[in-house]
């Protein structure tokens, strides 16, 4: 999945996007879930710029990126997701601040949580220490 961040803040109209669940990615992908007020929030912009500049590493680690916004339609990659899906993800992870980032492993467990921009080196290091990722690197998959 290519890293983008092109959705502009919108009005209060409902978001009629794709219905998705975190569970549908279990055992296939690691998830990076970013919570922000909207795509113009500075911490969100900085995080997405870091991810974009390391897109090959993101793809290699099977990372899927969710952007869950308070004031605009939420995204899975660059696809709009439904308000119901965004609400379900927010309820499940219960972010404590206006900017939060969660790393969810292929097993569905939360592996890392931050309330500031997450450096790519730390993100990749946490992933690369995971047993499933160790196996992937050993097996070349």
For 96-140, the pLDDT digits (tens) are 889 999 999 999 999 999 999 999 999 999 999 998 898 988 988
Q: Are strands 63-69 and 30-36 parallel, antiparallel or unpaired?
A: parallel
Read off the pTM.
Answer: 0.89
CA distance 131 to 28: 14
Q: What percent of the chain has pLDDT over 70?
A: 91
Architecture, CATH, for domain 22-139: 3-Layer(aba) Sandwich (3.40)
């Amino acid at each position: 999945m290519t890293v983008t961040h092109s959705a502009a803040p919108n009005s209060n109209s409902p978001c009629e996007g794709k219905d998705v669940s975190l569970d549908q990615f279990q055992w296939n992908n690691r998830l990076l879930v970013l919570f922000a007020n909207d795509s113009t929030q500075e911490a969100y912009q900085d995080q997405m710029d870091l991810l974009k500049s390391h897109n090959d590493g993101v793809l290699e680690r099977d990372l899927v990126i969710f952007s869950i916004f308070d004031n605009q339609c939420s995204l899975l990659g660059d696809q709009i997701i439904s308000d119901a899906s965004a609400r379900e993800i927010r309820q499940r992870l219960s972010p404590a601040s206006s900017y939060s980032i969660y790393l969810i492993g292929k097993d569905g467990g939360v592996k890392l949580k931050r309330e500031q921009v997450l450096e790519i080196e730390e993100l990749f290091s946490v992933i690369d220490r995971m047993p499933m990722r160790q196996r992937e690197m050993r097996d070349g998959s």
